[in-house]
Structure formats: C-alpha cells, structure tokens
Amino acid sequence: MIHLTGKERDWVLYDVGNSAFVMLTATVIPICFKNMAEGAGVSAADSTAYFGYASSLVTILSAFLGPLLGAVADIRGFKKLVFACMVALGVLGCGLLSLPAGWLAFLGIYVFAKTGYQGSLTFYDSMLADVTSEERMDQVSAHGYAWGYLGSCIPFVASVLLMLHGERLGLGSMQAMAAVFLLNAVWWLGMTLPLLRSFEQVCCVEKQKHPVHDSIRRLLGVMEKVRRDQKIFWFLAAFFFYIDGVYTIIDMATAYGKDVGISDADLMLALLLMQVVAFPCSILFGGLAKKLESQKLIRISILGYLGIVLFALQMDRAWEFWFLAVCVSVFQGGIQALSRSYYTKIIPREQAAEYFGFYDIFGKGAAFMGTLLLGMATQLFHTSRAGIGLLSVLFAAGYVLFRKAERLGR
C-alpha cells in the first residue's frame, strides 16, 4: 500500500464524502421511493421503470453539461470554482430530500441532487492529473474508490441505526428519514472541504480574453482530436458500453432486488457488505496494476460483470443477492479506478477537464441507455428480469470494442 501525500489524501477524501450519497442512491433512496410510490398506488414494475427514467434524465443532463463546463474548468483558476458549484448543488439536493413530499416531488429532487453529484465527478476525476504523478495514478485512483467504499460505511451505518431505532431518540419514521438525508449531506460537505482548501490547479490553459467563446472553440477542437485519435476514440466507445452496464447495476440493483422478493433489511445489509469487501479489492487491483497491464485487469473485470448479469437472471433468494453483492464488490472499484487512470494516461494532461467531459458522455452520461432499456423492458414484459438480460449485451459489446482499442494502442 502506497503512502499518500497530503494533496492525494485530500483528493481521496472527496470520494469518502460523495460515496455516502452513492450508498443512499443504491439503498435508501430507491427503497424510500418505491415504498412511497407503491403506497400511492403505483405498481412495482412502474415504480422501477420511473426510477430508471429519472436516472436516465440525470445522465442526459450530465452528458450535456460535462464537456462545456469541463472546457471552462480547464482555464487557470476555474476548476476549483466549477467543482465547488456542482458539489453545492448535490449537497443541497441531498438535504432537500428530507422535506416531506409526494413520490413525484421526491423523484424530482433526486434528479436535482444526483445531477450535482455527477457533475462534480467530471472535475474531480480530472483533478487526478493535478494531485499526483503518472506513475502513481493507478494506485491513487484505486485508493479513491477503496476509501470511498469503506468510509461511506460510517454514515450508512448511522443512517440504518436512525431508521431502525429513531424512536428511541424521539423521532418518528418520517423524522428519522429526514435526519438520514441531512446527516449524509453534512458528511459529504465535510469531506469535501479539505480538497477545496488544498487543491491547486497545475494542468490548465491560460485565461483568455473571451473565456466562454474560447472554451467552446477548444471543446470543438477536443471533439476533433478524439475523433482522430483512434486509441482514445475506441476506448471511449468500449467504455460507453461496459461502464453503462456497471452504473446501471449500481443504480438499479436495489429496485431489482425488491422486485424479485428480497427484503429491505437483506438489501441494505448485503450492500453494506459490498462496501466493506470492495475496499481491499480496489486496493488489490491498484497493486496488481504495477505487475499486470491495467488493460488486462479491465478485460477481466468486464468478463466478471458479464457472469454476474447472467447469474442475476435466475436470482430469487436472499443468499443469491448476498453472493452477487460480493461478486460485484470484487470488480466494481477496480474497473472504475483503472478505467479512470488509464484514460488519464492517454489524454493531454493540460486539457484533462475537457477530455473528462467526454469521458462522462461516454461513461456516466451514457448510462442513460442501460437504465432506459431496463425501464422499457420491465414495463413491456412486466418483469425486471427482461431488463437485466439486456445488460449482458452491453458488457459483451464493451469487451469486443476494448480489445479493438488495445490493438490500436500497440
């Protein structure tokens, strides 16, 4: 395990902060939403589909905003400012989820909060080039995901205790849920402050007389460079498919688990176990990248996810959900961390935020396809298993395109 510098540690802490919100989106938020929707007479299949559509809307908004804001953020002195604005949007939205509202308003606030979260990652990912050296990127990136998984367990456990034992503190069920969202918003903000205090933008372009116009011009230039650089283009094409499947599993695992009869308690405890197991696995993948090519580890992870999706098609028992949670945790941190660091190595570092705007289009921004397909297939066939089956196509396509990108890189 490497020793992190102060700036690397502050960068990692942001993952610890935002991962608390990620845990909410994977557990509490979909459970809360589905219970609210079904209490209002919405069927289980329709509530799953609506949640999928909301997740798709978030990724479309992120895809639109990411490249443009990324181009602005690459100007000297702008990256921290734009990053702080997106964090503020996400933290505020997380806090607003505590307000008493109907299921539709709750879903709208969720879109608001997650758009801020997704937007912040465009700039957070690009900050990797500012806080560490190229030879340390794989391991530092892996540490971000690893400590994010482990650190998020603290507010999550506190949240579960509030939901289960809030009455001992004199809180009703609605008050306890409101306290959960406020707690996680404060945690997210608190873990962000060290990075905001210490971050210095090293990789940048100089401020121009017309920053917005020049940012758009540079953005168009980056689009042309991505089109011409076959290694970057085909990697992003592969990333579009396989990471779409990864994020769809993250967004929809709990909703799918409820549809096949897994209890709320089993869902939350299994996902807590996933966070704990993901910590050493992410560190392990970062260490393995020193001995094996990161490309090989990414390929292994894609095939691992393909197996997970195929197994999930027949899942109907709690132990199977627990088993899949462990399997996902083995590959989740590794495939995200190594994809991020691999991409950072093959792009111009002084234009990192611009290029990561496109990374979000092909990755987080493109994740609308998986959630949209899952939602449509679920409503069409009246079972979420149909939607899960479509994810296998995403991983298979991602693997084929990634092999093509590798061959072009040699």
What is the structure's pLDDT at 239?
87
The HSE-up count of residue 131 (CA atoms within 13 Å, CB side) is 30
Query: Using CA atoms, how far apart are residues 132 and 5, in angstroms rounded to an integer?
Result: 9
Q: At what angle do helices 318-346 and 230-259 cross, to 10 degrees?
A: 160
Q: How does pLDDT run across 218-256, given as a tens digit for each residue?
A: 566 666 776 777 788 888 888 888 888 887 776 666 666
Q: What is the pLDDT of residue 208?
A: 57
Contacts of range 156-161, beta carbons closer than 8 Å, 24 or more positions apart: 156/20, 156/23, 156/24, 156/27, 156/272, 156/275, 157/272, 158/183, 159/24, 159/28, 159/183, 159/184, 160/268, 160/272
Greater confidence, 303 or 3? 303
pLDDT digits (tens, 9 = 90+) for 293-324: 778 888 898 998 888 888 877 766 777 777 87
Task: At 396, list the tokens.
Answer: 């298979």
pLDDT at 173: 75
Per-residue model confidence (pLDDT) at position 191: 95
Q: Give me the phi and psi of 75, to 5 degrees please.
A: -70, 140
pLDDT at 74 exceeding the cut of 70: no
pLDDT at 193: 95
Q: Which is nearest to 123 in space by CA: 197, 58, 203, 189?
A: 203
Q: Which pLDDT value is given to residue 90?
A: 94
Span between the terminal Cα atoms of the chain, in Å: 30
* Reported pTM: 0.70
In degrees and rounded to multiples of 5, residue 228 shows phi and psi of -80, -30
Amino acid 256: pLDDT: 65
Given this model, what pLDDT does residue 285 score? 78
If you average pLDDT over residues 66-90, what whole number do you get?
A: 78
pLDDT band at 132 (very low <50, low <70, confident <90, very high): confident
Q: What is the pLDDT of residue 202?
A: 73
Q: Is the pLDDT of residue 189 over 90?
A: yes
Return the pLDDT at 75.
67
Q: Are 20 and 150 in contact (CB under 8 A)?
A: no
Tens digit of each residue's pLDDT (9 = 90 or more) over 31-61: 788 888 888 888 877 887 788 788 778 877 8
Give me the pLDDT at residue 91, please.
95
pLDDT band at 211 (very low <50, low <70, confident <90, very high): low
Return the closest-CA partner of residue 276 out of 187, 386, 154, 396. Answer: 154
Q: What is the largest CA-CA distance in the chain?
A: 64
Segment of 65-69, 144-148, 265-269, 362-366 carrying the highest mean pLDDT: 144-148
**Percent of all residues in the chain with a pLDDT value above 70, rounded to a whole number:** 79
Poorest-pLDDT segment among 76-90, 183-197, 345-359: 345-359
- Residue of 141 and 366 predicted with greater confidence: 141
Could you report the per-residue pLDDT of 348-406, keeping only the tens digit for each?
A: 766 666 677 667 667 665 556 766 776 777 677 766 666 677 778 888 888 999 888 87
Which pLDDT score is estimated for 22? 86
Mean pLDDT (whole number) for 71-97: 84
Minimum mean pLDDT range among 63-67, 70-74, 152-156: 70-74
**Overall average pLDDT of the 103-125 stretch:** 88
Confidence band of 192 (pLDDT split at 50, 70, 90):
very high
pLDDT beyond 90 at 87 = yes
Q: Which two tokens stand for residue 340?
A: 């991020």
Q: Which domains does the chain have, with CATH numbers?
A: 6-409 (1.20.1250.20)
**Whole-number percent of the chain with pLDDT over 90:** 13
pLDDT for res 109: 93
Residue 219: the pLDDT is: 60
Work out the burial of residue 39: count CB atoms within 10 Å of its CB; fewer than 13 is exposed, 13-18 middle, 19 or more buried. Answer: exposed
